[in-house]
Structures are given as structure tokens and as C-alpha cells.
Amino acid sequence: MGQRSLEQFYPALSKLEPEARTLLSTKAMPFVIAKGTEVFAPGQSCRGYLLLSRGVVRVQSVSKEGREALLYRVCPGEICIQTSLNLLGEETYSAEAISEDEIEGVLLDPASFDRLLATSPVFRKFVFSSISKRLKDITQTVERIAFEPIEVRLADNLLMRKDDTGRVEATHLDLARDLGTAREVVSRHLERMAQKGVVRTSRGVVLIVDETALERLCR
């Protein structure tokens, strides 16, 4: 992926100083990773600063019992806060990341990341403003988990996932991971929605029948 393509997803990088632009273009290594691949895991050292141009990465926490809870997703144009903080603090990962699709982007090695951070005010502002935005997103997620009823968050998640026909391709476990709850809890609420004629469920699919009812639930 060329510098111009990278800047389509990260417009702030188009303002980099000439030396910083050269460093980024020569040191950022392209990658393609298959769907369902572990991108990083707890205890691993950070291999570099990830800039994504295609696909989605799911970052999640895993309990000792093996239960998974979504922390956030990384989409093209976004940064991974675990990666950013680990590079800044020279820490290891405390969560795991899985590619939900085939992903593509570039990886900037830690030494080059440190050099850009030290020498480029534009890059430094990009990194810290991206961290700030991500922290706000995570704070909002924590607030929703703490204060919003599960049925509200489930309705919102279904609306976010649906395609143009109202079809959601996700298992009850997928939805439970997103919501940070147990699969049985999601199944129970989906059954109630189905009884009210709001959704229909089948294996690995939820079909939204009454989108207005779901939207009303989210208000």
C-alpha cells in the first residue's frame, strides 16, 4: 500500500513533514492477514504500529474460564489503543486481537515509531489525538455496559450489524461477545423479541422483522 493510499484512510498523515513522510513510506511494511488469525495475544510484545486499510480487527478480553468480551474493533482509518499504549510504555499486550475479515495495512516497527514520535510534531499530534478519541469511545462503551439494560444494547448491536435486508449474520455467541455477557442471556432476550414479532432467528442468523420497534427500544 502506497503513501497516497495510506493517507486516504489517515488524512492527518498527509500533513507530515518531508523527512517524516520519507521515513514512514520506507519503514512501514505492508501486510495481509487471513480472516480468523490471531493478530496479538496477552503477554506478547508489540511488533509495531498498525495502520489498517482493509478489514476489521476485534480486540477482546478473555477470562480464565474462556469467556470473551469485546473491548473494541479497529477499522480502516482507526488505531489500536492497546498497540499505541504498549509502544509508548514498552508494555506487553493484556488482550487478544482477531482478524474478523482478511485485513490489509502497514506495520511501522517500534524504532521507527519512536523516531517519528520524537522528530515529527504532526505524527506526535496524530498519535495522541487518536489515543484520546479511542479512550472516549471505550469510556462510552463502559458506561453503556454499566448503565444500559442488556435489551437496549442488544437492539443497538443488531441495528449496527444488519445488512440492507435486515439480516444479521451472527451467532448468539458472537452477539454475547460484543455485549460482554453470556450466550444464554442473549438467547433469552432474542426469544422475547421473537415472541413479540420483532425478530426471527435461525442458526447463525437473526432477521429483523420490525426495525422501528428496535429503534424505539434504543431511544
Mean pLDDT, range 128-141, rounded to an integer: 91
Pairing of the two strands 57-62 and 38-40: unpaired
Mean pLDDT, range 34-56, rounded to an integer: 96
Domains in the chain with CATH codes = 3-146 (2.60.120.10), 148-218 (1.10.10.10)
What is the strand order of the sheet 49-54 is part of?
28-33, 103-108, 49-54
pLDDT at position 4 is 56
φ and ψ at 192, to 5 degrees? -65, -40
**Average pLDDT score, the chain:** 92
- Give the integer Cα–Cα distance in Å for 151 and 79: 29
Place of cell 450489524: 161
- Residues 142-196: tens digit of each pLDDT: 888 888 899 999 999 999 999 999 999 999 999 998 888 889 999 999 999 999 9
- Residues 60-80: tens digit of each pLDDT: 988 877 778 888 999 999 999
- Residues 94-105: tens digit of each pLDDT: 999 999 999 999
